[in-house]
Structure 1
Amino acid sequence: MKKDEIIQLLKEQLDSAKKDNEQLLLCIDALLEEISSLKEALLQKGESLDRQKRINKGLTKIISNKSEIQAPEPPTQEELKALEEEKDKKRKARKNNGARRDMHYEMEVEEHEVLPDDPRFDISRAREFSKEPRICIRYECVPMRFIKHVYKIRTYTQDGRFYEGKTPKSAFLNSSYDGSFIAGLLELRYIHSLPVKRIINYFESHGFNLNKPTAHKLIERASVLFENLYRCVRQTVLKDPYISADETYYRILIPEKNRNGKGVKKGYLWAIVGMKSRMLYLVYDNGARTEDVIIGEVGDYMGIIQSDGYAPYRKLGSDAYPNITRIACIQHMKRKLQDCGEDDPDAKELHSIMNRLFHEDHKHTVGVDGWTVEDHLEYRRQYAPEIIAELSDRLDEIEGRGDLLPQSDLQEAITYIRNEWNEMVDIFNYGDTNLENNTVERFNRYLSISRRNSLFFGSHKGAERGAILYTIALSCKMQKIDLFKYLTDVINRTAEWQPNTPIEKYRELLPDMWRKD
């Protein structure tokens, strides 16, 4: 045979072999699919047999029971089948044994292709068995890392001139710390409520030795850096048409000894929340809880203040401050009734009536499903008068019986409600006010946690720094922004700003307007 004929014959044989190979691969695919379906059927059959065995075992126990209780009739095959179908449906609906698995969609995701590691495996010769890969998830924690950046700044001469590389910015003058280092320190102290000593231990466990005086100095310098930002938060909060106020305490170390021989006193921080701007402002004035502090801050305010019935707040609602409308906190009224105990039927009834105000008010939320402030005000005018009238009548009945002891818990609760009555009614004259003061109290808990962990501020000056830094940290929390990213960015931006920089320039850096470049 000629060379061309041999080549042609070999090509024909090769094509025939390829066709045979394709047919064989199709047969293999069909067989694999059939094996998979058989395997699934066998597994289902085995599971069904196991279920039937368990059912039969249970029925045997019931039938063999010798007690006087008559055993029920065994279920029919149709009933058993219906029961199993119902269980299967529930099992499929539950998935993961009924547990709700959080998929953490907010996280950074890295995807990895996992191939067989068998030495006989050759991907160039293999065909993928299934169209979709099996998904497996693992969550990795990368602890705090510290990186020492060494900058080698070169200097050159050219044409009689010096050219020198620019020194990178630092958080503070003559400091080796970047804004991210200060941000990590402040986040642990003022959001996670760790005392400085524990922060130092935490840093050390991750490879950085920080001494306590340096840590305190960094916090002190950060508070100075944030003073203008703090003043800007104050201005913004006090321009808010609706604010909420409360106070909480912190132990302060002082030089003078108290009657127990300890240099410790209770110092109070006053919290003011802008309910529209969603920012919080903390005030500390030598730890005083007198009316001069809060009146000095909000005496010129124009708008709505919500608070409990503490005397300085009540004074703000008097005729002496005509530009302020004070509204009450119904939750505080309920707490007074709860203090009467579970065995007081009158207190429980009054508490139940107040709960109806909350139940009705929570049926709608402003901003959800097109529900407006005007809609909510109209709705309040419909449901509130009847419940308030019922509450008033019930108070009159209880007091009219003449059997209340003057010093009883119930009398104290009723007196508190009477004193706050007009301020409670005023809540329902607006469509966007809360029935309670829970927002400011919820953020005061961060101070409570810190108080339990850190025990005290080292001085009045330390408490003032705490007020500044808590103001920034909790305002970020209210705005639901990442405090670490915020502080890192703001510290690095403002590190070179002069102390006399106009406060207006800081307005764009406040948490409600901040946008990372």
Structure 2
Amino acid sequence: MKKDEIIELLKEQISGLRADNDRLLLQVEALTQEIASLNEALLQKGESLSKQQRIAKGLAKLMSNSSEKQNAAQTPLSEEEQKRKEEEKAAKRKARKNNGARRDMHYDMEEVVHDVYPDDPDFNREKARLFSATPRICIRYECVPMRFKKHVYRIYTYTQDGWLFEGKTPPSAFLNSSYDGSFIAGLMELRYIQSLPIERIVRYFEDHGFTLNKPTAHKLTERASVQLENIYRCIRQTVLEDFYKAADETYYKILVPEKNSKGKGVRKGYLWVVVGMNTRMVYLLYEDGSRSEKVILDELGGCRGIIQSDGYSPYRKLEGKDYPNITRIPCLQHIKRKFLDCGEKDKDARRVVDLINRLYHHDHKHKVGTDGWTVEMNLAYRQKYAPEILADLKDLLDEIEERGDLLPKSELQEAITYLRNEWNAVLDIFKYGDTFLDNNQVERLNRYISISRRNSLFFGSHKGAERGAILYTIALTCRMHKVNMFEYLTDMINRTADWQPNTPLEKYRELLPDIWKKANE
């Protein structure tokens, strides 16, 4: 088509659009008038209804011999009643949720600013005048999946005045490796914090543009555990030196050459978990998956101070004369759970639970380090409330057993026997002002192992479980100190890449999560 023909065609289209526009404007005007008439009718109806309501209200006042003057003469609310009504209103507002809540603006995030201008074809920014000096703000949050960057270093070599000058090769996490510490840290985070098995991590990497085969992923994990072994040893040393420790054990399935009774080459392997309650360090020990008392007694037997645990026999041996420097205290939650297992209908068990709950009720009234509450104040408070409750608890146990109607193998008898065996250790809890009533801190950490166990099912060997103990030690310690594990491992792997294996552990102490600072800080 020629230029003139195109112009005529566009003019006809514009004319048609204008006609459509005029027709729509007429429809809008007609609808506006109709809405106005409906609104007027509704107002009239509302006035009529309001009038009827006023009449009914007046009649009600006449029938009750009340008047506006009498109402005005009523006694005003007291200050206490007014305060109570305001508190009730506040409680109702709170129950509605999101009352007065503000959106989290995420000021610490990476921010990209976009200027958005009108895109209408008739808009000319040079001719237009700014309507408001402050633009309207609109926010959208973008998710950028895991990204991989390939850094290519061109290393040049020069000769000058008979000398050879060569660019320095950037450090590598491992000898003859192309992987930076951040790559290995990302792999470790997915494996030991997000609890993904290696197979899923490999697929996840591939979905985001990086092909990593499974043997390489396993090899990187293995080499990382070797490099981080001294940090692991330093955490172990710090935990064992802590005056107050808590201990427990959990299991993981291990693939082994020997077949079990079901013809499968798998067995339970136990991880011992020890937490330094003062330093908030976490140490995991794996020794061929053994739950033998020798493992934990050899590890904790030379320690000093308090060790808190459940009533498993190896821990209870730490109360004996062979370990004079150790005081073992129990977990009241384990004791309480024994009585809860007796069921709601067992009134005797419920009475024991109520007394244990009274101990918790008093202990939760104060927290050491909050509002000036000291360890000494907490100890004095415990010595005030605990003896009476513990005496009532002991009297209750005597009463139940002396009645003679308790079956020897009943759940209640087993619970009472468990508590009797732990009684002296229970008393020891209240001889200190900074001990916990239970072992819940370790129980919470064990959940991370449980999640990983459900996701990845097993360790491929005892060696794999040992690596797991090293990396879980570091991961859980980072979590205890609210340290970003990815940033921590990236820094540790890069910073210690050229450290010798015989580097003193004292040097690693400065890198542990409780006092760690990034290399560039």
Check the 8 A contact 1:304/1:327 in 2, yes or no: yes
Deviations 1:122-147 (A, max 9, x none): 48864554x86655433222211000
- TM-superposed deviation, 1:319: 1.4
Map 1:413-452 onto structure 2 (within 5 A).
Answer: 413-452=415-454
Deviations 1:295-325 (A, max 9, x none): 1111100010000000000001111100001
Q: Does 1:225 align with 2:239?
A: no
Structure 1 unmatched ranges of 5 or more: 1-45, 64-72, 79-85
Which amino acid is 1:433 matched to?
A: T
CA separation of 1:136/1:389 partners in 2, compared to 1, >3 Å: closer, same or farther?
A: farther
Match of 2:309 in 1: 307
Instruction: Give, in whole Å, the separation in 2 of the partners of 1:94 and 1:157.
Output: 77
Which amino acid is 2:316 matched to?
A: R
Match of 1:157 in 2: 159
Check the 8 A contact 2:254/2:266 in 1, yes or no: yes
Which amino acid is 2:198 matched to?
A: V
Which amino acid is 2:332 matched to?
A: I
Match of 1:69 in 2: none
Which amino acid is 1:284 matched to?
A: Y
SS of 2:510's partner is helix
Deviations 1:235-269 (A, max 9, x none): 11111010000000000111011111111110100
Check the 8 A contact 1:427/1:435 in 2, yes or no: yes
Check the 8 A contact 2:244/2:276 in 1, yes or no: yes
CA separation of 1:295/1:93 partners in 2, compared to 1, >3 Å: closer, same or farther?
A: closer
- TM-superposed deviation, 1:113: 6.2
Instruction: Give, in whole Å, the separation in 2 of the partners of 1:435 and 1:173.
Output: 49
Match of 2:118 in 1: 117
Check the 8 A contact 1:91/1:98 in 2, yes or no: no
CA separation of 1:154/1:374 partners in 2, compared to 1, >3 Å: closer, same or farther?
A: same
The aligned length equals 445
2:289 pairs with one of 284, 287, 290 = 287
CA separation of 1:97/1:473 partners in 2, compared to 1, >3 Å: closer, same or farther?
A: closer
CA separation of 1:124/1:490 partners in 2, compared to 1, >3 Å: closer, same or farther?
A: farther
- TM-superposed deviation, 1:352: 1.3
CA separation of 1:513/1:88 partners in 2, compared to 1, >3 Å: closer, same or farther?
A: closer
Q: TM-score, normalised by structure 2?
A: 0.80
Map 1:20-35 onto structure 2 (within 5 A).
Answer: none
Deviations 1:205-236 (A, max 9, x none): 11101000000000000010011111111111
Map 1:84-163 onto structure 2 (within 5 A).
Answer: 98=99, 100=101, 103=104, 105=106, 107-108=108-109, 110=111, 112=113, 114-117=115-118, 119=120, 120=123, 122=125, 126=129, 129=132, 134-163=136-165
1:489 pairs with one of 461, 481, 491 = 491
CA separation of 1:419/1:222 partners in 2, compared to 1, >3 Å: closer, same or farther?
A: same
1:394 pairs with one of 393, 396, 401 = 396
Match of 2:173 in 1: 171
Instruction: Give, in whole Å, the separation in 1 of the partners of 2:356 and 2:454.
Output: 33
Match of 1:412 in 2: 414
| Structure 1 runs of 4+ with >6 Å offset | 86-97
SS of 1:420's partner is helix
Check the 8 A contact 1:144/1:206 in 2, yes or no: yes
Match of 2:364 in 1: 362
Q: Does 1:507 align with 2:509?
A: yes
Instruction: Give, in whole Å, the separation in 2 of the partners of 1:149 and 1:464.
Output: 33
Check the 8 A contact 1:244/1:440 in 2, yes or no: yes
Match of 2:80 in 1: none
Match of 1:475 in 2: 477
Match of 2:206 in 1: 204
Check the 8 A contact 1:253/1:456 in 2, yes or no: yes
Map 1:260-409 onto structure 2 (within 5 A).
Answer: 260-409=262-411
| Coordinate RMSD, CA, aligned | 3.1
- TM-superposed deviation, 1:106: 6.8
Map 1:451-466 onto structure 2 (within 5 A).
Answer: 451-466=453-468
Instruction: Give, in whole Å, the separation in 1 of the partners of 2:371 and 2:106.
Output: 25
Which amino acid is 1:193 matched to?
A: S
- TM-superposed deviation, 1:121: 6.6
- Please say which of residues 93-102 and 275-284 is displaced more in the overlay: 93-102
Which amino acid is 2:415 matched to?
A: A
Match of 1:4 in 2: none
Check the 8 A contact 1:377/1:428 in 2, yes or no: yes
CA separation of 1:107/1:140 partners in 2, compared to 1, >3 Å: closer, same or farther?
A: farther
Instruction: Give, in whole Å, the separation in 1 of the partners of 2:128 and 2:105.
Output: 37
Which amino acid is 1:108 matched to?
A: M
Which amino acid is 1:459 matched to?
A: S
Instruction: Give, in whole Å, the separation in 2 of the partners of 1:452 and 1:328.
Output: 29
Check the 8 A contact 1:194/1:454 in 2, yes or no: yes
Check the 8 A contact 1:274/1:280 in 2, yes or no: yes
Match of 2:61 in 1: none
CA separation of 1:365/1:194 partners in 2, compared to 1, >3 Å: closer, same or farther?
A: same
Deviations 1:274-315 (A, max 9, x none): 001111000001011011000111110001000000000000
- TM-superposed deviation, 1:331: 0.5
Q: TM-score, normalised by structure 1?
A: 0.80
- TM-superposed deviation, 1:92: 8.8
SS of 1:185's partner is helix
Instruction: Give, in whole Å, the separation in 2 of the partners of 1:380 and 1:463.
Output: 42
CA separation of 1:96/1:314 partners in 2, compared to 1, >3 Å: closer, same or farther?
A: closer
* Fraction of identical pairs, as percent: 65
- TM-superposed deviation, 1:101: 5.7
Check the 8 A contact 2:93/2:99 in 1, yes or no: no
SS of 1:272's partner is strand
- TM-superposed deviation, 1:95: 9.5
- TM-superposed deviation, 1:338: 1.3
- TM-superposed deviation, 1:88: 11
Instruction: Give, in whole Å, the separation in 2 of the partners of 1:473 and 1:173.
Output: 24
Map 1:63-82 onto structure 2 (within 5 A).
Answer: none
- TM-superposed deviation, 1:387: 1.2
SS of 2:491's partner is helix
Which amino acid is 2:144 matched to?
A: V
Match of 2:31 in 1: none
- TM-superposed deviation, 1:114: 4.9
Deviations 1:84-139 (A, max 9, x none): xx99999998999759565164741526365551543748864554x866554332
Match of 2:246 in 1: 244
CA separation of 1:340/1:502 partners in 2, compared to 1, >3 Å: closer, same or farther?
A: same
